Structure 1
């Protein structure tokens, strides 16, 4: 992304409404863990050693593309995407990247965890060619 590109921020009013819709889903489906996992897997590909976006990975909404959903570590996350897609369709002013992080933070909060202070305004990758390659999530440690 060039420095001259406009970074569309998610609409604050739509974010607030989307959070209420996420709360509704959490009360009826008890999907807290998979929404937390979705947020983590979208953000967990970030590589601080790569300066250019979107090659550096991170919370960029790339998990909405089939190529990344098919990575072995992302098994089952299509189900989280299916839960959130109607909310994304309803709130076009919210990026996938922000929606995934909002859903994760809301799931933690609704499960009795802390309210996580979040800043929104994440930008979505534009296509599957911008998805990180398989294996970018941190691996398991021996223990």
Structure 2
């Protein structure tokens, strides 16, 4: 079962964010607090949205996403920030169900893109996404400013 997250789900979402960071071998980079997630998802101006996968009443996965915008297409899309299914529930169709729900939202709202990033070494995920019909955007390279480099650029006159 896939459902929209509620404020009561913040602790389990936070736990799974930490589990995902462990899986991706960067546990120290997951610094978001439950309070930050609660504000981003359920504050006065939500910046992100989440859906949960449940099995037998237990949350076993989540998709956290936000809107992006294509100047070329002139419409919003969804950027999937995180998709995670707990190891004991993998292979049960939960990841596919979460992506299907996001695709349904795109179609219903007239969004023309559902995008995400995947680590180059994560072959199981790459194979899963490609089996769904997703294609890598090899001609693009993701750039990111964080920490000191972001502060340095942001403090320039």
Coarse TM-score class (shorter-chain normalised): under 0.3
Question: TM-score, normalised to structure 2's length?
Answer: 0.25
Which protein is richer in helix relative to its size?
Answer: 1
Which protein is richer in strand relative to its size?
Answer: 2
